[in-house]
Every structure is written in structure tokens, then in C-alpha cells.
Amino acid sequence: MSVRLLVTGAAGFIGSHVCEALLARGDEVIGLDNFDPFYPRAVKERNLDGLRRAQGFRFVEADIVHDALPLDGVSVVLHLAARPGVRPSLEDPASYSETNVTGTVRVLEAARRAGVRRIVFGSSSSVYGDATPAPFAEDTAAVWPISPYAASKRAGELMAHAFAHLYGMQIACLRFFTVYGPRQRPDLAIHRFTRLIASGEPVRMHGDGSSERDYTYITDCVDGVLAAVEWTARPRPGGGLAEPINIGGGARVRLDRLIELIGRALGREVRIERHADQPGDVRLTAADLRRAERELGYHPAVGIEEGIRQFVRWHEAIHGRER
């Protein structure tokens, strides 16, 4: 049975893929985005190309902080809109608080007023900080964020917990672990490294290359989001629930290996410029996926080598258009 869903951040990387997957299974989707200038509007417009032509999709240009949300007939809200990026949050923490905390509260309150009880909230692995033992499990405290971005995402989760407790909402707080794939934001490492290596420019590598990330391919991420939508429909004895759930790739990949894989997929020699570690960056992310498996039936299917090959193929296919 199809439902109507509101997806905030619909023109972004994850949001546009999620909208396509919802439409493909027969749902009706209202996509909302404010085209924040964090990266060029043209990139987001390209993400929407197929969606704008799709039956069952309606796009609304609006801001979650300042504008009313189109919630008529909506059964589920997928709140994926955010001001992204760990490093930029060090330069402008107030704007991160406004969008990621105040904006999230406004989404939750609008949903409450409209009678929408099912919410999927896009959180981040950055909430674990640098002091959580690996692999990161959702029942750890997550009270030591090391960037304003991470703190804003953790604050959004805490607000979700309050709304779930007070108003009987069912909220899945998905902690995404470094999602990549076609349409990835141009500022993120895999996209940036690919662009530099493909054009013969050196890659800036911060640290000695031993830092590790749990990378999640976009199709696995989307599978997790759709499973979380179904999770919010389960009856819960005793009232509402806001549950943090990791969405990861299931493996730790060193930075130097990642760069090597990109170079190999491109068939190019890699030149590396070494720089000091960046403030706000964690040394390690590693997802404990036992809760995701138990609650969502989540099993990542795309490993880093295949994922990088697919990303590079996409990058090469659009390279001429971007230049």
C-alpha cells in the first residue's frame, strides 16, 4: 500500500536517491529543499532531473527553519536536510546550530501538529566522537563530540528522544557512516580525491594515512533508510520510541588504501601532499551493525573496492559535462 512521505533535503546526495527509491516502490513523495549555497545549486538541480519528471513526485523549495512544511496527507517524514561538513562547522558553528538543531525541532514540531508520528532522522557517525571504543555501538553514551557539526547532530537526536517520549512518535535516528556513491557531495573526500587524481593534481592527505573510516555505499544506505521507514510503522507497547541505529558499510578502510583504490580504478598515478591532521576529524569510525541487522534486517552488500569502481565510472561519465 503506497503512502505519502515528506523528504527534507530531497535535492541532496542521499535525499535524491531516497526519493527515487520511494517512487520506485510506488509511494508518493513531496521533496523539500532550500538549495543552501554550501555547494552549487546546479549540482542539486541535476540531482532532481529525473525526479521532476517522475509521476508521484512534487517538489517544494522551502527552508525548514523559516517556512511552513507541506504535511497534508503525509504519513512519514524523512528528515535528511542539514548543514553538512565537520570542518566548515568550525568556522560557523552558529549556522550549524540554527539548521541542524533549531531546524530539526521545527520539523518535529510541525510533524506533531500535523499528527505525523512516524519520523526517520538522518544523523551521523560523528556523534561518537573520538573516545568511543570500536566498533561503535548505539548504546554507548555518545557525549563527547569533537566538532560543532557532531554536537548539532547529537542535539537533534536528543530532541527526537524528547518528542518521542512526550508525543508517542516513532523516530529512527540513523547514524550514517561516510556515505559515498554517484552524486556524492563534491567537497567530500572520495569525490574530491577522484577529481584531483583524474586531473593529474596532487592529493592533500592529512595525517600519515592510518586514519580509518567505515564507508557506506549509497545503495546500502538507501536500503537502510527504506527499512527504517517500515520500522516506524511497528506498534510499540508503552508509547513512543526514538532509536539510534547505525548505517555503515561493515569494514574499516585506511585513508592511504582508499586513495590507492581510487588511483587504481582511474588507472592514474597518485601524487600525495602530506599535511597535519585536521581539527575536528576523528581518527576512526567503525559501525557496530548488530542493532541494524536485528531491527531493520540491514546487511551492507557493496564493499569498498566495488563501490569505488562504481563511483569512478559515474565520475568519468559526467566529467565532460562538469568541465
List the catalytic residues: 149
49's CB contacts (< 8 A; 6+ apart) are none
**212 close to 258: Cβ distance less than 8 angstroms:** no
SS3 call for 213 = strand
Query: What is the rounded CA–CA span in Å between residue 294 and residue 321?
Result: 43
Smallest CA-to-CA distance from 139 within 298, 295, 300 is with 295
Query: What is the rounded CA–CA span in Å between residue 194 and residue 233?
Result: 40
Instruction: Locate 263 and state its grid cell.
Output: 588511483
Residues counted in the chain: 323
Cis peptide before 135 (omega within 30 of 0): yes
Query: What is the rounded CA–CA span in Å between residue 291 and residue 308?
Result: 26
DSSP β-ladder status, 252-254 and 212-214: antiparallel
E strands of the chain, at which residues? 4-8, 28-33, 57-61, 76-79, 118-124, 170-176, 179-180, 203-206, 212-214, 216-217, 241-247, 252-254, 272-275
| DSSP state letters, 4-37 | EEEEETTTSHHHHHHHHHHHHTT-EEEEEE---T
190's CB contacts (< 8 A; 6+ apart) are 180, 184, 215, 258, 262, 308, 311
Instruction: Show the CA angle centred on residue 183, arms to residues 177 and 185, nearest 5°.
Output: 60
